[in-house]
Chains A and B, each alone.
Chain A
Amino acid sequence: MIEWFTTVQIVVACAAGLLCLVLGLAGRLPGDVSMGAVAVVELLLIAQLVVAIVAAPFGNQPTGSLAEFYIYLISAVILPVAGGFWALIEHSRWSTVILGVVCLAVAVMLYRMSQIWFIQGA
Chain B
Amino acid sequence: MAMHAQNTIAAKQVTPKVPRVSGVGRLLIVVYGILALAATGRSVFQIIDRFREAPIAFTLSAVAAVVYIVATVALAVPGVAWYRVAWVTISFELAGVLIVGTVSLLAPAVLGLTSIDPFGRQATVWSVYGMGYLLVPLVLPVLGMLWLVRHRPAPAASAA
> Contact: B45 with A71, CB < 8 Å?
yes
Q: Interface majority SS on B: helix, strand, loop or mixed?
A: helix
Given A105-B34, A108-B134, A115-B119, A94–B23 Cβ distance below 8 Å?
yes
Q: Does A122 contact B (CB under 8 A)?
A: no
Chain A proximity of B9: nearest CB distance (Å)? 23
Residues of B within 8 Å of A86, CB to CB, are: 30
> Contact: B41 with A67, CB < 8 Å?
no
> Contact: B30 with A68, CB < 8 Å?
no
Chain B 118-138 interface 0/1 with A at a Cβ cutoff of 8 Å (1 = within): 010100000000000010000
In the complex, the chain B residue whose C-beta lies closest to that of A78 is B37
| Interface residues in B, total, Cβ within 8 A | 16
Residues of A within 8 Å of B34, CB to CB, are: 79, 101-102, 105
Task: Say which size band chain A's interface belongs to.
Answer: 20 to 34
> Contact: A75 with B37, CB < 8 Å?
yes
Residues of A within 8 Å of B30, CB to CB, are: 83, 86, 98, 101-102
- Cα–Cα distance between A83 and B34 once the two chains are bound (Å): 11
Chain B proximity of A69: nearest CB distance (Å)? 10
Chain B proximity of A111: nearest CB distance (Å)? 10
Given A65-B49, A68-B45, A71-B45, A101–B37 Cβ distance below 8 Å?
no
> Contact: A67 with B45, CB < 8 Å?
yes
Chain B 21-58 interface 0/1 with A at a Cβ cutoff of 8 Å (1 = within): 00110110011001001100110010001000000000
> Contact: A94 with B31, CB < 8 Å?
no
Within the complex, which residue of A67, A97, A108, A120 is in contact with B121, where a contact is CB–CB below 8 Å? Answer: A120
> Contact: B49 with A67, CB < 8 Å?
yes
Residues of A within 8 Å of B23, CB to CB, are: 92, 94
Residues of A within 8 Å of B37, CB to CB, are: 75
Question: B residues near A, CB below 8 A?
Answer: 23-24, 26-27, 30-31, 34, 37-38, 41-42, 45, 49, 119, 121, 134
Interface contacts beyond A86-B30, A98-B30: sample of 18 additional A-B pairs, CB < 8 Å, sorted by A: A65-B45, A65-B49, A67-B45, A67-B49, A68-B45, A68-B49, A71-B41, A72-B41, A75-B37, A79-B34, A92-B26, A94-B23, A94-B24, A95-B26, A98-B27, A101-B30, A101-B31, A115-B119
Question: A residues near B, CB below 8 A?
Answer: 65, 67-68, 71-72, 75, 79, 83, 86, 90, 92, 94-95, 97-98, 101-102, 105, 108-109, 112, 115, 120
